[in-house]
Structure 1
Amino acid sequence: MKCFNYLFVVALTLFLSEISNAQQPAANQNWPDRTTLPIEPYQKVGKVAPTIKDSDPIEWPKEVSAPEGAPNVLLIMIDDVGFGASSTFGGPIPTPNFDDLAKNGLKYNRFHTTAVCSPSRAALITGRNHHTAATGIIMEFSTPYPGYHSLVPRSVATIGKILTDNGYGTSWFGKNHNVPDWQSTPAGPFNLWPTGLGFEYFYGFLGADAHQFRPALFEGTKPVDPYLKDDKVDADYILDRDLADHAIHWIRTQKNVSPNKPFFAYYTPGTAHAPHQAPKEWIAKFKGKFDQGFDKQRIATYENQKRLGIIPADAKLAPTPKEYQRWDALSPGMKKVAAREMEVYAAMLAYCDNQIGRVIQSIKDLGELDNTMIIFIMGDNGASAEDPTGQGLTSEIGVLVNGVEDTEEYMLKNLDEFGGPWMAEHYSHSWAHAMNTPYQWDKKIASHLGGSRTGMVISWPAKIKQTGQVRSQFTHITDITPTILEAAHIPQPKKVDGFDQVPMAGKSLMYSFDNATAPETHKTQYFEVIANRAFYKDGWMASTTPKNLPWQGHPVPTEDPVKDYKWELYDLTKDFTQSNDIASKNPEKLKEMQKAFMEEAEKYKVFPFDDRYIDRVNPENRPKFNVGRSEYVYYQGSSRITEGMAPNLKNTSFSIKADIEVKAGDDGMIITQGGYFAGFALMLQNGKPTFSYAFSHYPNHKWTIQAATPLAAGKHTIVLNFDYAGGGLGKAAKATILVDGKEAAKGDIARTVPSRFSADETLDVGEDFGTPVTRDYDVPFTFKGKIDKVVVNLKQ
C-alpha cells in the first residue's frame, strides 16, 4: 500500500508539471510574439509538488506590457472641417491649440481622407482602405456588397485592439459612426461597438451627429444622458466640454494607477458636423467677422496660406464651380443669415479647440507631454456643402432629407436662436467651399482635393526636433495606424483572435519626421465615394468629373457609372491645388491611370460603383430584419431603439395601442420617436391623452390632437389610429385617439415625414429624452403611471 501511495504521488507530480508546462510558451525568448494576438501571459515554472515544502518557488505570470519607450498617443480627429478653416492652415477660425501643436511639431499639407465620414473613420482605426473594412459608405447607407455592408471584418483589427493586446490602456471619446445602424440599440450585438473592437473604454455617441446640448450618449454600452441633472435639463451642459472632462479624468486615472503604462486616447468630437451649435458667449466673439461673405473670405484665406507657406507661392486658387451660390446674389436679409451661420460654425470649432487644449494641458500637468505623440487631424473630410439652397438651412434632417423649405422670414426672425438648442442649422454650401480653400469641391466629392485633403499636425517632443516645419509628402488617413505602431515598436499583427489579418495599406510617416525632402513612401492611392473616384500615383492624379453636386441628397443615378463619368487629369507636382486639367494633352497617361484605378478597385472591393445616396436608406435596400413583421410589442422603459430597428412609421397607416394604469392627473410619455426637428409623441399631458406630430421645427409644421378630459384613476386602453392619405411620400394623414374604445379626439396632419425622423433621436417607451416633439413639455418626460405594454401595428 505504501508503494502504491508513493507511485501515486510521483505520477500526480509529473501530471501537474505536464499541465503547467503545457500552458506556457515553449521558450521564454519567444515571448511575447506580438504578431499573434492576444498574447498569453508567460510563466516560468519550477518544481510543482503536492506540498509547498517540496515545491520550488514559482514566478508570477508575466503579463504583456508595451515595448520599452512606447509613447502615449492622443489621436484627435475633428468632423467636417476643410483645409482652409483653421488658423493653423491659413483660415479665419482661431485654433490656438492646434497652432501650438504645429509650432512644436509638423504640419502635413498633403494629407488625405476618404472624403466622407464613416469610411475615413474605418480607414483611420484599421490602417486599411475603407472598402477593405467594408465601409465604402456611411453606415446608414450600407448595401450588401463586400466593400459596403458595414460589418467590419475580423481580418482588419483596429488600433484599439492591437494596442490593448500589447499592453496599452485604450479609450475612445466622442463620435463613432462605425457601428452598423441596425446594431446600435441597447440590445446589441456589441462586437462592433468600440469596446467590441478592442477599446477598453468608450464615452460618446454612435451615429452621424449629436445635439451639443442634449446628446444621446453611451458609456461603454450603457445609455447615458449627461445633460440631465436632478431630473431636469442642465442649462450649462455642452457636449464638447463633457468629452474633454471625461478624457481628462480617464488619462489622469491611467497615469495615477499605472504611471509606466502608456495610454492611447482616440478623441473625436462631433464638431463641426451639423447641427452647428456653440455657447452664446463664443458666438458673440465672432459677431461681424464674416460680413464680407464667402467669396472674399476664400480669396483672403488663399493669400494668407501663401504668406504662411502652407501652400507654394505659385499655387493657384482653384476656381469655384458655377453651381455654387455667390455672395452678391443673396438678398440683404439672407446675407445677415449667412454671416450668422458662419459665426456659429467658427464659434463651434474655436470652442472645440479650446476644450482640446484642456486635454493637452492635463497631459502636460502629468509630466507626460514630452513622450506623448499627438496626431491632430483637422477634418475627417472636407467641409460639408450639404446645403441645397446656398443660403444655409435651419435643420439638416429637415431640409436635406425631408424636403423642408426654409424661409427668409423665419430665418431672420429666429436669428438669435442660431447656434442654440432649438436650431440644427448648417451653413451655406459656399461657406463650406470657402473653408476648403484653395481647392475645389467639398465633402462627398472624393475625386477632388476639396473633398479629401484636410490639415494634419503631428507633435512628439521626445522625437520630433525639426519643429514648426511643413511636410509635403503624399499622406493618407490609412497611414496613421502604421505610424502609431512603428512609434510604439509594435509590429503589424498577422493573426488576431485566430483570424489572419489583411495587410495594412497605409505606410508609417515616421520617415518624414526628420527629413523634409525624404521621398514619399505612399506612392499610390485610390479614392471612391458615391462613384466619385480618383487615382493618385507618383504626383499624378486622375479624377472623375462630379455628376452630382455635394448637396444632392437624392441624386439621379447614372445608367452606367463606369462609362458615364468624364475623367480629368492633374500633375500635382506642378499644380498643387488641382486647378489645371491636362487630360486632353495627355490621353495615354489618363488611360494608364484609369486602368490602374480599375485594378485597385477590383483588389480592394470597390465594385459595384453606386451613385445613390439617401435613397440607399429606403427599407428595401436595408437588411430585412423585420420582413413580414407588422406587429411590434414594447414595454415600459424600452428606449434608444434606432430608426433602422424601429417599425417604419413613415408613408403608411398604423395604430398604437397602449394598456396603462394611472392615478388622477398622471402625465408622461407613452411612446415617442424622433424629436423637435421631426417626430411624434403619444402621451398624457395634464392627464389628457395627447398626440403630437412634428414634420419639422417650424411652428406651422407641428400638430397636436388632445382629448377634452383627463383620464380617471384606474386602468385604460389608449389607441391612436394614424390613417395615411397615400399617393406618394410625405403626404397628409388623419389621427384619431380612442380612450377605452370611444373616440376622444381627432385631427388632420397636413404633412408627414417622408424619409427620416432623426439621425440621433430614437424610439422610446415610457420616457422621452433629447428634444421634445413640441415645446409644450420638456424632457425627461417620464410616464408617472404604469404601462402594461404598447403594441404598434402597421397597416398594409
Structure 2
Amino acid sequence: MKRRLLTVASLLTLVAATTPADAQAPAGGPVASPPAPLQRQAPKGAPNVVLVLLDDVGFGTTSTFGGPVDTPALTALAAQGLRFNRFHTTAMCSPTRASLLTGRNPHATGVGAVVTDSRPGYTGLHGRDTATIAEILRENGYSTGAFGKWHQTAAWQTSPSGPFDAWPTGEGFERFYGFEGGETDQFEPSLYDGTTPVPRPAGAGYHLTQDLVDHGVDWFRTLASVTPDKPFFLYLAPGAIHAPIQVPPEWIARYKGKFDQGWDKLREETFARQKRLGIIPANTELTPRPAGMPAWDSLSPDERRFASRVMEAYAGFMAHTDAQIGRLIQSLKDAGKFDNTLFIYVVGDNGASAEGGLGGSLNYLGALQGMPETLKSKIDHIDTIGTRHANAHINAAWAWAADTPFQWTKAVASHLGGTRNGMVVSWPARIHQPGGLRSQFGHVNDVVPTILDAVGLPAPATVLGVPQKPMNGTSLLYTFDDAAAAEQHRTQYFEIFGHRAIYHDGWMASAFHTRLPWGGALGAGKKPFEEDRWELYDLRTDFSQAHDLAAREPARLREMQALFTTEAAANQVLPLMGQQFGGGGLPTLATGQASQTYHRGAVGIPESALPRIFNRPWSVEADVTARAGARGVIATLGGSDAGWSMYVDPKRRPVFTYRLYNIATVTLRGKALPVGPAKLRFDFVPVAKGLGQPVRLQLIVNGTPVAQGMVPTSPMAFYSPGGNTFDVGVDTGAPAGDYPADAPVGNPATALDIGAVTVSLR
C-alpha cells in the first residue's frame, strides 16, 4: 500500500490550517497582529467593469444614434442605461486608446499620434507615470483581461525579442488575446495569446469578432467558477468596423439595395431620424459636403454600383458586430453578472474613416501608397467585397455620411466629425432612471475617472512605486441621476496631424491644417501653422458646428487660441508636427544590414525588422531538405492583400507567390523536388531605379531558373502594416500563398526540413 509522506513543514502547515486562530496563541501570552493579506480585495460590492470600444464607427452609423445600420443590442443596452450624445474621442485610434485606458490626455501619456517620434508627446509609449486602469484595478483586487485590438505598442517592441512591458500583459492585463497592429484580417487574423503568436481556431465559419467575444465570455465564466466573489475588468476592442471590411455574406445581403440612394440622401435620412429620436436638438442644422468630395449624382453607374456594394458590406459588418456584443451582454445576464456590471460601450474610437479614398477601394493600402485601382478592376472584383479576398474600404463620402450631422471624418481633430462618437453606459444596480439621454460634454479621458468613482477608489498617487500624473478626465457619474446636471468637464484640447481645436464652456475653436482625411501621407501639404484659419462655434446653440462665429467674435477667438496654446504646452503637444511621420530618434528593429538569416521558429517578425526591400532589388534564399510527402511554408511576409510566400505544395513542387493588392498576383512554380537537399531562391528585380517601376520575378532551384514573371509596380513602403508578419516554417495570419490557412502547412509532420532562410538586398 502506498503511503503519503508528510514533511515536518507540511505537517505544521496542516495543523495550523486546521487549528482555530484563538487556540494557536499561547495562554496568557501576547496576541500577534494578523499578517497583511496575501491577496488584495476590491472594495465591498465593487461592480464588474466591461469596456467595449469599436473602431472607425461614425456618430451617425448605428440605429441607436439615428443611423442606417440596425443595432438592436446597442439599443437594448441604451434602454437599460443611458445614451451620451456629446462624448468625444481624439480623432485617431492609438491616441484614443491611450486616453481611454489612462484617464489622461493622449499626448500626456506619450501617444499623441499613431506613427511615433522621439519627442515626449509622440513616442507611442505609455509613460509609467500614466498607468492604465487595468494596472490600477489589478492592484486593487480585480481580474483583468483584454480581448482584441491593442495598437499601443511601438513597432520596435512587437517582435519576439521584446521588450514586452508595453504589451497588454505588461500594462496590467493578466490575460490578452488579440492583435497588436492597427488592423488585421477578420477571417485569418494575426493573433497573440499573451505575447505568443498563435493560429486562429480552426473552422470554416471563423470570424474574428465572434472569436474575441467567445474568449472574453469563456474568461469571465472561468473566473466566476474559481473566484466568484472577485470582480473583473473586461476590455473588448474588436477590429470592427475598421478596414478590411470582411463579414459573412449573409450579413451583407441584409443591406442589399439599402444605399442605392447615395450618400447625400442617406445623410438627410439619418439627420431626420436623429431629430425624430431626440438624439440631436431640434434646431440642429445639417452641415454641407466638404469641398473636393463628389456629389452622388456626379458618379457614373459603375461608380455608384461599386460604392453601394462596399457600403452594404460596411453596414453588414456593423450589424454583425452588434450581434456579437449582444452575445456578450446576454452571457453576463445568464451568469447573473449583468446588474452589477458597469458596462461602458464607446461606439467608435474616432469618426468614420475616409481612408478608402474618394472612389472607395478593394484594397485601400495600395491606393494609400500611390497605386490606385482602376474602376474596371473594382467592378471585375466587386463580388470579393466583404470576403477574405479583398481589403475593402468605403468611399470617403460614405464616411462623411456616417458622421452625420457633423463636418469632416476620422483624423480631423479640429471638427466634430472626427471626434464625436456615441456612447452607451449601463449599470442597473446604479442607474435608477434608465433610457435617458445625457448631453454634458464628455471625453475618453473621463472613462477611467468614471470607473474609479464607480468602484470607490481614488486616483492613485503612485502605481508600482511610480508617482502618477493627475487625471485629466472627470467622472461622469454625476450625470447618472440628473440629466440637467451642470457640466463638469469644462476644457479639452484636440490635436492630430496639426488639425486642432479647443473646447471651453460650450464654445469650440477649430483649425483645419492641411491633411485631407482621404489622402493619407499623400494628402498633407506644407502650409505653416500660423497661416491656418481658425473658426469659432457656440456649441450651446449650434450642435453640429454649422455656424462659424470667428468674424463676429474676434476677441473670444483670440482667448480660445491662447487657451489652446496653454493646454497644448501643458500636455506635450508643442511644437506642432503636422503630418507626424517622423520616427527619428526612436529605437528600431532595422539593423541596416543588407542581409539577414532566419531559421525555423522565427515567427511574428515585423516587416520593419527585415532588410528594407521596397523599391530595390532583393532576394530570398532557403536551404531545405525534402522527403517523400514534403510540403509546407518555408518563409512568408505579408498576407492575402499583399506580400509573398515561398512554399512547397502537396505535389512537392517549389512555389513562390507574390501578391500586389488587387493589381497583380504572380505564382511561380517549379517541378517536384527530388528527395534530399535543395537550394531555393527568388529574385525581385525592378527594371529601373525609382518608384513604381515594373519588376521582374524569378524562381531559381539549385542554381537553375525554373520560372519567371512580371508585376507592373511595387509598394512604396509596406505590404501589410496591420500585423501580417514575416514567418519561417508557418503562416500565422492571412495566407500570402495559395494554400488553406487552416491546413497543417508548416507542421513538422509534413517532413519538410528548413535550414537557413536569408533575405538579402542586391
TM-score range, shorter chain: over 0.9
Tell me, in whole angstroms, the C-alpha distance in 1 between the residues paired with 2:78 and 2:356.
Answer: 32
SS in 2 for 1:644: helix
Contact 2:189-2:734 at 8 Å conserved across structures:
no
- Equivalent-residue separation in structure 2 for 1:387 and 1:226 (angstroms): 27
Which residue of 2 is the match for residue 607 of structure 1? 574
1:506-521 matches, within 5 Å, as: 506-521=473-488
Q: Which residue is 2:62 aligned to?
A: 86
Aligned counterpart for 2:667 among listed residues 691, 704, 712: 704
Match of 1:281 among 243, 250, 253: 250
> Equivalent residue for 1:386?
355
- Matched to 1:764, the amino acid is D
How far off its partner does 1:778 sit?
5.4
Contact 1:665 1:710 in 2 (8 A): no
Q: Match of 2:230, as an amino acid?
A: K
SS in 2 for 1:132: helix
Question: Of 675, 687, 698, which aligns to 1:736?
Answer: 698
Change (3 A) 1:677 1:491: same
Shift of 1:147: 0.5
- Which range is displaced more, 320-329 or 450-459? 320-329
Tell me the equivalent position of 1:395.
Answer: 363
Tell me the alpha carbon deviations over residues 427-461 of structure 1, each in whole angstroms, 9 at most, x when there is no partner: 11111111100101000000000000000111111
1:649 corresponds to which residue? Answer: 613
User: Does the alignment pair 1:761 with 2:724?
Assistant: yes
Q: Map 1:250-269 onto structure 2 (within 5 A).
A: 250-269=219-238
Do the aligned residues in 1 keep the contact of 2:197 with 2:603 (CA within 8 Å)? no
User: Which one of 247, 260, 267 corresponds to residue 291 of structure 1?
Assistant: 260
| Mapped partners of 1:330, 1:559: distance in 2 | 31
Q: Which residue of 2 aligns with 1:40?
A: none
Is 1:325–1:429's contact at 8 Å kept on the other side of the alignment? no
How far did residue 693 of structure 1 move? 1.6
Of 669, 679, 695, which residue of structure 1 is paired with 2:660? 695
**Deviation at 1:251?**
1.4
Pair 1:276–1:647, CA change in 2 (3 A):
same
1:57: how far off? 7.7
Q: Give the distance between the partners of 1:414 and 1:721, measured in 2 at CA.
A: 29
- TM-score scaled to structure 1, two decimals? 0.89
Q: Establish whether residue 720 from structure 1 lines up as the match of residue 682 from structure 2.
A: yes
The amino acid across from 2:197 in the alignment is P
1:33 aligns to what? Answer: none
| Aligned 8 A contact 1:276 1:344 in 2 | yes
Helix, strand or coil at the partner of 2:422: strand
Two-structure CA RMSD over aligned residues (Å): 2.4
CA deviation vs aligned residue, 1:83-106 (integer Å, no higher than 9, x gap): 111111111111111111111111
SS in 2 for 1:343: helix
> Structure 2: any 5+ residue segments left out of the alignment?
1-20
The superposition leaves residues 358-404 of structure 1 with CA deviations (integer Å, 9 ceiling, x where unpaired) of 1111111122211111111101100001122x23110121222x333
The residue that corresponds to 1:377 in the other structure is 346
Please give the secondary structure, in 2, of the residue aligned with 1:102.
helix
Are residues 1:301 and 2:270 paired?
yes
Q: 1:439 aligns with which of 396, 406, 415?
A: 406
Shift of 1:546: 4.2
Which residue matches 1:166?
Answer: 140
Distance 2:483 2:740 in 1: 60
Q: Name the stretch that deviates more: 177-186 or 196-205.
A: 177-186
Question: Which residue of the partner structure matches residue 473 of structure 1?
Answer: 440
SS class of match (1:303): helix
CA contact 2:413–2:494 (8 Å) conserved in 1: yes
- Give the distance between the partners of 1:353 and 1:159, measured in 2 at CA: 25
- After superposition, where does 1:472-511 map in structure 2 within 5 Å? 472-511=439-478
Q: How does 1:65-84 map to 2 (within 5 A)?
A: 65-84=41-60
| Number of the residue aligned with 2:91 | 115
Question: How far is the alpha carbon of 1:664 from its aligned partner?
Answer: 4.7
Deviation per residue, 1:549-569 (Å, 9 max, x gap): 111112465546421311111
Superposed CA deviations along residues 652-673 of structure 1, whole A, max 9, x for unmatched, are 2223221221125633222111
* Match 1:143 to one of 117, 126, 141: 117
Asked if 1:189 corresponds to 2:156, the answer is no
Are the aligned partners of 1:404 and 1:696 in contact in 2 as well (CA < 8 Å)? no
- Is 1:768–1:779's contact at 8 Å kept on the other side of the alignment? no
In structure 2, the CA distance between the partners of 1:723 and 1:356, relative to structure 1 (3 Å rule), is same
Question: Partner letter of residue 441 of structure 1?
Answer: W
Task: Give structure 1 regions of 4+ aligned residues with deviation exceeding 6 angstroms.
Answer: 45-49, 51-58
Give the partner amino acid of 1:689: P
Name whichever of 343-352 and 783-792 sits farther off. Answer: 783-792
Show the 5 A alignment for 1:334-413.
334-388=303-357, 390-400=358-368, 402-413=369-380
Partner of 2:7: none
Choose the corresponding residue for 2:294, options 302, 321, 325: 325
Aligned in 2, Cα 1:564/1:52: closer, same or farther, shift over 3 Å? farther
Aligned match of 1:15: none
Partner residue of 2:559 out of 589, 592, 596: 592
SS in 1 for 2:251: helix
Kindly tell me: are residues 623 and 129 of structure 1, through their superposed partners in 2, closer, same or farther at Cα, counting changes over 3 Å? same
Aligned with 2:643 (options 679, 696, 702): 679
Amino acid at match of 1:637: G
Name the amino acid aligned to 2:44. Answer: E
Q: Which runs of 5+ in 1 are unaligned?
A: 1-44
1:270 aligns with 2:234: no
- Which digits, 9 at most, give the CA deviation of each residue in 1:113-141, with x for residues without a partner? 00000000000000001001111111xx2
In 1, distance between residues paired with 2:324 and 2:681?
48
CA contact (8 A) 2:632 2:647 kept: yes
1:505 Cα deviation after fit: 0.4
The equivalences for 1:454-469 within 5 A come to 454-469=421-436
Letter in 2 for 1:575: D
Alpha-carbon spacing, 1:362–1:151, altered in 2? closer, same or farther (3 Å): same
Please state how far the C-alpha of 1:191 moved relative to its aligned partner.
0.5
Q: Number of aligned pairs?
A: 736
1:15-62, Cα deviation, whole Å (9 max, x unpaired):
xxxxxxxxxxxxxxxxxxxxxxxxxxxxxx99999x999997885642
- Aligned partners of 1:726, 1:540: CA distance in 2, in Å? 55
Superposed counterparts of 1:306-317, under 5 Å: 306-317=275-286
C-alpha contact 1:722 1:736 (8 A) present in aligned 2: yes
Tell me, yes or no, if structure 1 residue 548 matches structure 2 residue 515: yes
Distance of 2:379 and 2:698 partners within structure 1: 36
Indicate if the aligned counterparts of 2:516 and 2:523 stay in contact, CA closer than 8 A.
no
**Are the aligned partners of 1:466 and 1:514 in contact in 2 as well (CA < 8 Å)?**
yes
Distance verdict in 2 for CA 1:726–1:785, change over 3 Å: same
With over 3 angstroms needed to count, the CA separation of the structure-2 counterparts of 1:586 and 1:54, relative to structure 1, is closer
> Which residue number in structure 2 is paired with residue 134 of structure 1?
110
